[in-house]
Amino acid sequence: MMMRSISVLGATGSIGASTLDLLRRNRDAWRIEALTANGNVAELARLAREFSASIAVVADEEKLPELRDALSGSGIEAAGGASALAEAAGRGADFTVAAIVGCAGLAPTMAAIERGGVIALANKEALVSAGEIMTAAVARHGATLLPIDSEHNAIFQCLQGNAAEHVRWITLTASGGPFRDWSWERLSRATPAEAIKHPNWDMGAKISVDSATMFNKGLELIEAHYLFPVGLDRLRIIVHPQSIVHSMVEYRDGSTLAQLGPSDMRVPIASALAWPERMDTPCAPLDLAEIGELTFRKPDEERFPATRLAREAAQAGGGIPAVLNAANEVAVAAFLNGQIGFTRIAAHVEDVLGSFAPPAPTGLAEVLAVDGEARARARILMEAA
């Protein structure tokens, strides 16, 4: 295989670490262009040196001097701040892993798309916020968007070789999160520490809380709506506590294709890195006899309203998914800080959605404006509550 260049946006996070673990095992296949982080300069510099990156970018500009120090003598370029982040992302690497958490990843992801390479997308909040604008940019710039969110990667694999017109249902599986069997009363007392402890996956704090509220599945429903435009009424969610079946596609003839694998993000990441080929991973092989049982049940939107709110936001379209995402980001941060209770997260998102109907954004700047306004309203409503 020819050597390809790669940038990892969000290199110090959970997806970043899984990606770099695979790259570390395939050093001959990849040249590392940019590695980025929000503020963890020590880890970023360590990774940039290990992988001989061309440039390391810290989003928090105040930390640039510290990064310069940490990289001195290495010949690795150091940069800081949001515009440096987008500039580095837009340097035209053959392959970009978009693994920043939140809408903060939108501008750099768009910069990579505009250079027309392959973009492996973990950063679902970016696509949820800018769905139509991002998918239009992918088409306009001849970029390739490969999903590495496990469900969407599964669906992508199950759709290969089949025309979308034959799809009857796309079913996203959901673990249901750590609280799937909790009563409403118990949910109202859930703590951040309890929410972050996911039974199947080891993930960043924000997505762990999203998994507990089911906003993760709500965001993924919107993500699927933009990635696989078969119509919102063909997208369903099913709770599957074992997280082995990562999603399914049912065709009009009654055939259902599913993708199965261990709960290890290196599997979908490897599928994107090697696409359309395959590569080895160190992941444990799937031992279904050991697992024994795969179970499925309907989601409960009474206790977990997030998927209903997300479906309504996707139906409304325009800037509404960006409002839902921004309100959720603010609410999750407030929950993690101990400012609001667990069941207030969805209630708060619903309040923000009810208070604000922005015009449909027509470009990146408008999406960022909707995101900013929704955050401001989310904070005001939170103070008032």
Q: CB 85 → ligand NAD: shortest distance, Å? A: 6
Task: Pick the closer one to Mg ion by CB: 32 or 235.
Answer: 235
Q: Distance between the two ends of the chain, CA-based, in angstroms? A: 57
- Per the CB < 8 A criterion, the answer to whether 123 and 112 are in contact is no
Strand 245-251 versus strand 256-260 pairing type:
antiparallel
Q: Does 174 bind ligand NAD (CB under 6 A)?
A: no
Strand 167-174 versus strand 245-251 pairing type:
antiparallel
Q: CB 61 → ligand NAD: shortest distance, Å? A: 11
Pull the structure tokens for residue 198: 């996911």
- Applying CB under 6 A, among 37, 84, 111, 172 the residue interacting with ligand NAD is 37
Q: CB 210 → Mg ion: shortest distance, Å? A: 9
* Cα torsion angle, 19, 24, 27, 33, sign: positive
C-alpha–C-alpha distance, residues 341 and 166, integer Å: 44
Residue 198 labelled as part of a binding site: yes
Residue type, 74: S
Q: Does 66 bind ligand NAD (CB under 6 A)?
A: no
Binding to Mg ion (CB under 5 A) within 119-158 occurs at: 149-151
C-alpha–C-alpha distance, residues 128 and 210, integer Å: 14
- Applying CB under 6 A, among 33, 66, 114, 149 the residue interacting with ligand NAD is 149
Q: Does 266 bind ligand NAD (CB under 6 A)?
A: no
Query: What residue 159 binds from Mg ion, ligand NAD, none (CB within 5 to 8 A, per partner kind)?
Result: none
Query: What residue 138 binds from Mg ion, ligand NAD, none (CB within 5 to 8 A, per partner kind)?
Result: none
Instruction: Respond yes or no on whether the N-terminal peptide bond of residue 108 is cis (omega within 30° of 0).
Output: no
Q: Residue 103's closest CA among 269, 213, 265, 222?
A: 222
Q: Does 16 bind ligand NAD (CB under 6 A)?
A: yes
C-alpha–C-alpha distance, residues 92 and 121, integer Å: 16
Q: Does 264 bind Mg ion (CB under 5 A)?
A: no
Residue 337 labelled as part of a binding site: no
Q: Which residue number is nearest to ligand NAD in terms of Cβ?
A: 13
Task: Pick the closer one to ligand NAD by CB: 127 or 351.
Answer: 127
- Per the CB < 8 A criterion, the answer to whether 163 and 230 are in contact is no
Q: Does 243 bind ligand NAD (CB under 6 A)?
A: no
Which residues does 88 contact at the CB level (< 8 Å), separation at least 6?
A: 7, 33, 34, 36, 55, 57, 79, 108
C-alpha–C-alpha distance, residues 33 and 62, integer Å: 23
Q: Does 101 bind ligand NAD (CB under 6 A)?
A: yes
Q: CB 106 → Mg ion: shortest distance, Å? A: 18
Q: Does 61 bind ligand NAD (CB under 6 A)?
A: no
Binding to ligand NAD (CB under 6 A) within 325-384 occurs at: none
Positions touching ligand NAD (CB under 6 A) are: 10-16, 37-38, 40, 59, 99-101, 104, 122-125, 149, 201, 203-204, 207, 265
Positions touching Mg ion (CB under 5 A) are: 149-151
